[in-house]
Amino acid sequence: MVHAFFIGRALASAIGEQIENLMTDGLSNLGKFDAEQRENLRQFTEEVLARAEREEAEAMQGRSSATTSTEQPPQDLQATIDNLRAEIAQVRAALQQYRASST
C-alpha cells in the first residue's frame, strides 16, 4: 500500500513537470511567433510607406514640371469670376446675333 502511494506521488510529480515543460515551451513558441509576426508587420508597413513616398515624389516631380510650363499663375477669385461673366456675356451676344440672323 505504501509502495503504491509513492508510485502515485512520483507519477503525479513527473506528469506535473511534463505539463510545466510543455506549457513553458508552448508559451515560449507563442511569444516567438508573436514577435516574428509583429516584426513582419512592421517591415511590411515600412515597405508600404516607403513605396507610397516614392510614388508621391515621382508624381509631384511630374506634376511640378508639367504645371510650371503650362499653368498660368493663379489669379484672385474675383478676377476669375469677372472673366467668366465677360465670356458668358460674349456667348450670349453671339447667340442673339445668330438667332437674329437665322430668323
Question: Residue 75: CB partners within 8 Å, gap ≥ 6?
Answer: 83
Tell me the C-alpha distance between 99 and 93, whole Å.
10
Question: How many helices (H) does the chain have, and how many strands (E)?
Answer: 2, 0
The DSSP string of 53-92 is HHHHHHHHHHHHHHHHHHPPPPPPHHHHHHHHHHHHHHHH
Percent of the chain whose predicted confidence (pLDDT) is above 90: 62
Span 19-36, average pLDDT? 94
What's the pLDDT tens digit per position in 49-86?
999 999 988 888 877 665 555 555 566 888 888 899 99
Amino acid at 28: S
